[in-house]
Structure 1
Amino acid sequence: MATENKECRLDRRDFLRKSGIAAAALTASSEIPAQQPPRRRPNIILYLSDQFRWDFVGANGANSSTRTPNLDAMARRGTNFTHAITNQPVCAPSRSVLFTSRYATETGVWQNGPGMRQDLPTLAGELRKAGYTANLIGKWHLAPGNPQQGGPGAVAPAWRGGFDDLWEGANALEHTSHPYEGTLYDRDGKEITYKDRYRVDFLTDRAEQFLRQKHDKPFFLFVSQLEPHQQNDLNRMVGPKGSAERFINAHVPPDLRAFPGDWHQQLPDYYGACESIDASVGRLHNVLKETGQDEDTIFIFFSDHGCHFMTRNTEYKRSTHNSSIRVPMLIDGPGFNGAQQISQLVGIIDLAPTLLKAAGVPVPSSWKGHSFLPLLQDGNARTAWPDQQLVQISESMTARALRTQDWTYCVADISGAKNAASPQYMEWQMYDQRNDPHELVNLAGRKESREKAKELKALLIEHMKYAGESAEIKDATLYH
């Protein structure tokens, strides 16, 4: 198993200070008095809905057909991060970034299949060291993918990333279940089966059961739903029965309308699955209120990546576009209530350190993300925030991207190789987020964009160095 290279590892604060990328934001963070641990640390529920687009949350105001009253209520009472970014838009790599606050090329999970490095501190492990229980219900996807080491089903304890208490999951839930029947595995590897119950509702039943138990310690609960992700062996999304008919003429997002894809077939079921996720979130909030735990529980709703419905490549994500990398992120509970809307760019890599800070738990020095709590507490921090995120792309191609508030700048290995990284990239895509938010016009290689591209290239190279990468980036030679 790979070990930490201390000589080569850049200190995150030193890197950000030298590069100028986020020094001001970290300075603002350091000026805020350290949060004192509460008498009892807050419970934490991390609710992941796989492949849920940011614009399918009604509170984000970009979709006239979506029905998410419970998520909208979260946004009204809590904090809505309207420009949250996944640092790797595919299931397993994104989850590895989430739990380790390291980039996917550092976690061992640069694509679906490999197991996550076991020597890295994880969110679950750090919370357990601080006195939490760490519990999982649903999809994991961070154990090795071959049958000899667990495959899609049961996960050996060594590969559970610190979730050493309740375990009711499957490594790849899409391969052990279907929307109305399937199998999970408990901590001893015994089967938990369901039938004639929609998968979202079944997993919510299990989460409700957990929340109604007596808890002597603060708990960390990871609820990992598969929906609205497609059912792999059916090659389509599957909403609850009858939902597709109700959404047959629903709103089509503008970034999809301009391109061929399968959105016209899949959107109705996708809408239905998103509606079921919203109802699930509402059920869990109701249980928290009924059991008196709502004021002591931080609840996070987010996704690992979005969905472009085969408009940008031959499947549903793995691209640098907003439809892939922009995700919903809503947080309510202690420290997050106040009906705030945060428009600064935050990454999935920043979520784990934020939650540890909110719980009064020390953040490992090896983590690359940084807490975005200052954005809630200090108006000056919002002005100083860097608004830059590195995105790594794998499987569809080997690519790297820098996302800022105003630009997306992407470089790719044009050889067609699909590796963890490349020694050489070429400018591939460049989108003006101010004037082209639906990313219809690629500006890479245009003479009028050359100076901006040069600036973005330099920033991307610095971010790649911070992630432990070194590569040459060639200028685009074609006029798009």
Structure 2
Amino acid sequence: MRKPNVIVFFTDQQRHDTSGLHGNPMNLTPNFDRCAREGTHLFNSFTCQPLCGPARSSMQTGRFATETGCWRNHIPLPQDAETLAKVFGRNGWHTGYIGKWHLGTDDPVPGPERGGYREWLGANLLEFTSDAYDTRVFDGDGRRVKLPGYRVDALTDAAIRFVDRHQDEPFFLFLSFLEPHHQNSIDNYPAPYGHTVLSNLWMPPDLDTLRGSAPYHIGGYYGMVRRLDEAFGRLMDALRSLGLLDDTVVMFTSDHACHFKTRNDEYKRSCHESSIRVPTLITGPGFKGGGEVRALFSTVDVAPTLLDAAGLAVPDGMAGRSILPVLRDPKAPWRDDVFFQISETETGRGVRTAKWKYAVTAPYDPDRPDSDVYREAFLYDLENDPYELVNLSGMSTFRPVADDMQGRLLRWIEAVEGKRPSIEPHVGVDPFQRIPWPGAGQDPARHAIDPYRSPLAV
């Protein structure tokens, strides 16, 4: 029996609610929505670190960012790390990487820093080597290559060429886009020509309430998402035309999401759903007809799931788990919470269940991945407040919930980081006191940055 091909279609900074299956009414993702319905839709999918480099290190290794050592940006992936590419490569798959890497020291990325990928067409910091209509990457010999077309299309064309070249052998392809991440040089979201959404914009409730930069950026962001979905459809059509569709496992996911400067003064690095929740589907052999899976899925589960889907043993050092047993038996044992870490704006830790979100924070130290002392910062009731507009932290009414969530968080920290920090309680105002929000003359975006202002603060 032929070994299955495996493709990861990897976007950057894409919110889960850009998809129709998560309630977006603008029909931005018809290909994603259809493939998720036909395959397996991982409805509750979360990054374990809402930051590019750390999330990518977890994606490649199945380990948390503090375990890989890449707990903030600008720390290269250790060259001896066990990665997806190394496992697939030594078991007979031809491996290839196309697009943004963000786990190296420089551009072009030196060969030993490429995570074991055999074929290479990428850049460490694609946002700085290229622009929306100026896609510049490096090949396996370190030579600069300019690809024609809008950046999403240029990388998709390269991926289709890769699939065509290797259709007669099992392959593992990681296709990593920059979109819908902003273009750093202009702090904007440049959609392809004619794709910027200018009318009938649907604004998610958190952005509609808190605003941030969304009024200026959401139209371009949506245009980028639409083009990514078109590219995903093109790639699936290429597999169909080559007769590979039934032999190829395809995962669509993202490294983290985007809160448009509503939770701090940039776009991610927070505990909120708008930072950590991402759209994820898997289709192909083993995943067709899997339906909507509500199990809590994390970035660290990506590598174990893909290896398991290919019939390969999951290395012992991986912290994540394969979701396949849950697809085969919905009653199979699975975790009931997920853990995430935050760096650069703060040193944060959080845990999420199906109903509750709890997070703690400490001052950020660029030389240290953790803290000995955290302070309670956020508690959200996700069933009744899915867009996290009412922070319950510090309210005596919810102290039993906070205590339970704190216990869960400490167990995660001990298991992943090997230590047990102390957590100071959030001392809030009387639960019956209602402080006007955002208040006359106050900026709601800046209000949102301070989690200690009021128990009703976002």
TM-score between the two structures when normalised by the length of structure 1 = 0.87
The answer to whether the aligner puts 1:169 opposite 2:118 as a matched pair is no
2:276 is aligned to 325
Residues 61-97 of structure 1 show CA distances to partners (whole Å, capped at 9, x for unaligned) of: x111142111112112100001101000011100101
Read off the aligned partner of 2:190 and give its amino acid letter: V
Question: Structure 2 CA distance, aligned partners of 1:430 and 1:421?
Answer: 21
Give the 3-state SS of the residue equivalent to 1:243 in structure 2.
Answer: coil
1:238-257, aligned counterparts within 5 Å? 238-244=190-196, 246-257=197-208
Q: CA RMSD in A?
A: 1.2
Question: Structure 2 CA distance, aligned partners of 1:215 and 1:80?
Answer: 26
The answer to whether the aligner puts 1:445 opposite 2:394 as a matched pair is yes
Give the 3-state SS of the residue equivalent to 1:327 in structure 2.
Answer: coil
1:460 is aligned to 409
Counterpart among 139, 142, 146 of residue 193 in structure 1: 146
| Aligned partners of 2:356 and 2:382 also within 8 Å | yes
Read off the aligned partner of 1:55 and give its amino acid letter: D
The answer to whether the aligner puts 1:368 opposite 2:322 as a matched pair is no
Q: CA 1:443 to 1:214, structure 2 compared with 1: closer, same or farther past 3 Å?
A: closer
Question: Structure 1 CA distance, aligned partners of 2:61 and 2:203?
Answer: 35
1:6-405, aligned counterparts within 5 Å? 39-60=1-22, 62-144=23-105, 150=106, 153-164=107-118, 166-195=119-148, 197-244=149-196, 246-338=197-289, 340-381=291-332, 384-405=333-354
Q: CA 1:279 to 1:175, structure 2 compared with 1: closer, same or farther past 3 Å?
A: same
Question: Structure 2 CA distance, aligned partners of 1:440 and 1:184?
Answer: 41
1:476 is aligned to 426
Residues 353-389 of structure 1 show CA distances to partners (whole Å, capped at 9, x for unaligned) of: 11111111111111111111111100212xx422211
| Aligned partners of 2:167 and 2:244 also within 8 Å | no
TM-score between the two structures when normalised by the length of structure 2 = 0.91
Give the 3-state SS of the residue equivalent to 2:165 in structure 1.
Answer: coil
Question: Structure 2 CA distance, aligned partners of 1:72 and 1:260?
Answer: 27
Read off the aligned partner of 2:251 and give its amino acid letter: I
Shift of 1:474: 1.5
Question: Structure 1 CA distance, aligned partners of 2:335 and 2:68?
Answer: 24
Q: CA 1:334 to 1:159, structure 2 compared with 1: closer, same or farther past 3 Å?
A: same
Question: Structure 2 CA distance, aligned partners of 1:297 and 1:362?
Answer: 18
1:424 is aligned to 373
| Aligned partners of 2:345 and 2:364 also within 8 Å | no
Shift of 1:465: 1.0
Shift of 1:416: 4.9
Shift of 1:249: 3.1
Residues 320-343 of structure 1 show CA distances to partners (whole Å, capped at 9, x for unaligned) of: 000110001111000000050011
Shift of 1:434: 1.1
Give the 3-state SS of the residue equivalent to 1:425 in structure 2.
Answer: strand
The answer to whether the aligner puts 1:408 opposite 2:360 as a matched pair is no
Question: Structure 1 CA distance, aligned partners of 2:128 and 2:271?
Answer: 27
| Aligned partners of 2:135 and 2:154 also within 8 Å | no
* Runs (5+) with no aligned partner, structure 2: 430-454
Question: Structure 2 CA distance, aligned partners of 1:406 and 1:385?
Answer: 16
| Aligned partners of 1:346 and 1:387 also within 8 Å | no
| Aligned partners of 1:125 and 1:161 also within 8 Å | yes
Q: Report the count of equivalent residues.
A: 428
Question: Structure 2 CA distance, aligned partners of 1:215 and 1:159?
Answer: 27
Give the 3-state SS of the residue equivalent to 1:74 in structure 2.
Answer: helix
**Deviating more after overlay: 212-221 vs 395-404:** 212-221
| Aligned partners of 1:169 and 1:186 also within 8 Å | yes
Q: Percent identity?
A: 43
| Aligned partners of 1:49 and 1:224 also within 8 Å | yes
1:33 is aligned to none
Question: Structure 2 CA distance, aligned partners of 1:385 and 1:102?
Answer: 17
1:7 is aligned to none
Question: Structure 2 CA distance, aligned partners of 1:133 and 1:194?
Answer: 23
| Aligned partners of 1:176 and 1:183 also within 8 Å | yes
Shift of 1:477: 2.0
Residues 370-415 of structure 1 show CA distances to partners (whole Å, capped at 9, x for unaligned) of: 111111100212xx422211100001110000011111100101x4
Question: Structure 2 CA distance, aligned partners of 1:311 and 1:328?
Answer: 20
Q: CA 1:190 to 1:168, structure 2 compared with 1: closer, same or farther past 3 Å?
A: same
* Runs (5+) with no aligned partner, structure 1: 1-38, 145-149
Give the 3-state SS of the residue equivalent to 1:99 in structure 2.
Answer: helix
2:448 is aligned to none
1:6 is aligned to none
Q: CA 1:339 to 1:378, structure 2 compared with 1: closer, same or farther past 3 Å?
A: closer
| Aligned partners of 1:300 and 1:330 also within 8 Å | yes
Question: Structure 2 CA distance, aligned partners of 1:66 and 1:326?
Answer: 19
Give the 3-state SS of the residue equivalent to 1:45 in structure 2.
Answer: strand
